[in-house]
Amino acid sequence: MQNKKSLKNAVGKKVGQAIYVHRSAVDHLQTSAKDKLSLALQRVPEDFQWSVLKISGQNDQTFSFLDYQDFSAVAFPELRASLLVNLTEESAKLRKYSDANPPILHRKELLLAPDHPLRDDFAKLTQSLESKGLFKNMANKGTRRIWMETLAEAGLTVEGPHIVQSGLISEESAKTSADDMNGLEKNIVERHKTAITRATLSAPMYLLFTSGLIRHDRTVLDYGCGQCDDIRALQSDGFTVEGWDPHYRPDPSILKKSGNPP
């Protein structure tokens, strides 16, 4: 009877012998794990922001404090840094991950407590992708590059915490104006208002990146760059990128330098 109760109250995503738990759910851990966690936390710097706890299966002596993106803001949070604390060795090792192709998190609902208000929403996203067969053969889909490529092949793209059909603009991202011409209503979309703010590379730029066409020895021109999110993402990883957009970046010298007429 006690074992059934323990299983019912268990929380976390199990990968091999390790357990991953969101910071908001650590109070649901077993007492023995929480006692050791309090010791591990003594080695975590106050300025280190972590959102996920990984408990090793090796007698729970190893804890990893993981800095993932905000669960509520991103569909598949990226891992930015980790702090590995080993109670046996009394050590703490920090590791930072490149923005070019960081590890990402799937099935984030499993890391939350059963009563978390967002758990059902996250689970519906997972179920939707499962129904499309996208969670098959997951061994090589644990990084942003391969996962985004998988979504793009299925005609999907990430927009903040949501997954949308590629090429569709959300209601929040697109606004239209209407003119009445000869008694007919005509919808006119102002191009610059359809630019989406992205947390990751756009699907076309991502495919260019994964195909090896974007390299450090080349200069990339993002023609129609919108709000320059792709430019900032690539520049942060050391790539040389220029961009032109008729509304957000209408500098004609960019086109002249690239050999294109303004």
Give me the percent of the chain exceeding a pLDDT of 70: 79
Residue 149 lies in a domain: no
Residue 163 lies in a domain: no
Does the structure show a pLDDT above 70 at 62?
A: yes
Tell me the C-alpha to C-alpha distance, in Å, between residue 95 and each of 55, 80, 91, 190: 17, 9, 13, 44
Residue 184 lies in a domain: no
Top pLDDT among 94 and 246 is at: 94
Top pLDDT among 116 and 58 is at: 116
pLDDT digits (tens, 9 = 90+) for 212-227: 788 888 888 888 888 8
Provide mean pLDDT across the span 68-79: 93
Q: How confident is the model at residue 256 (pLDDT cuts 50, 70, 90)?
A: low
pLDDT digits (tens, 9 = 90+) for 165-179: 875 544 444 443 334
As for how many domains the chain has, the answer is: 2
Model's pTM, two decimal places?
0.61
Same domain, 6 and 107: yes
Q: How confident is the model at residue 96 (pLDDT cuts 50, 70, 90)?
A: very high
Residue 22 lies in a domain: yes
**Angstrom distance (rounded) from CA 72 to CA 84:** 25
Token readout for 173 is 């991202």
Q: Which of 3-7, 60-64, 143-147 has the lowest mean pLDDT?
A: 3-7
Does the structure show a pLDDT above 60 at 260?
A: no
Long-range contacts of 110-115, Cβ-Cβ distance < 8 Å, separation of 24 or more: 110/12, 110/13, 110/20, 111/12, 111/13, 111/20, 111/21, 111/22, 111/25, 111/52, 111/71, 112/11, 112/22, 112/24, 112/25, 112/71, 113/11, 113/22, 113/24, 113/25, 113/28, 114/11
Residue 27 lies in a domain: yes
Residue 130 lies in a domain: no
In sign, the C-alpha dihedral spanning 98, 103, 108, 110 is negative
Residue where a domain terminates, one of 86, 111, 136 = 111
Residue where a domain terminates, one of 111, 130, 157 = 111
CA dihedral 47, 51, 52, 55 (to 10 degrees): 30
Residue 230 lies in a domain: yes
Q: Residue 204's domain spans which residues?
A: 195-262
Residue 61 lies in a domain: yes
Average pLDDT score, the chain: 79
Does the structure show a pLDDT above 90 at 83?
A: yes
Residue where a domain terminates, one of 111, 128, 146 = 111
**Angstrom distance (rounded) from CA 79 to CA 101:** 10
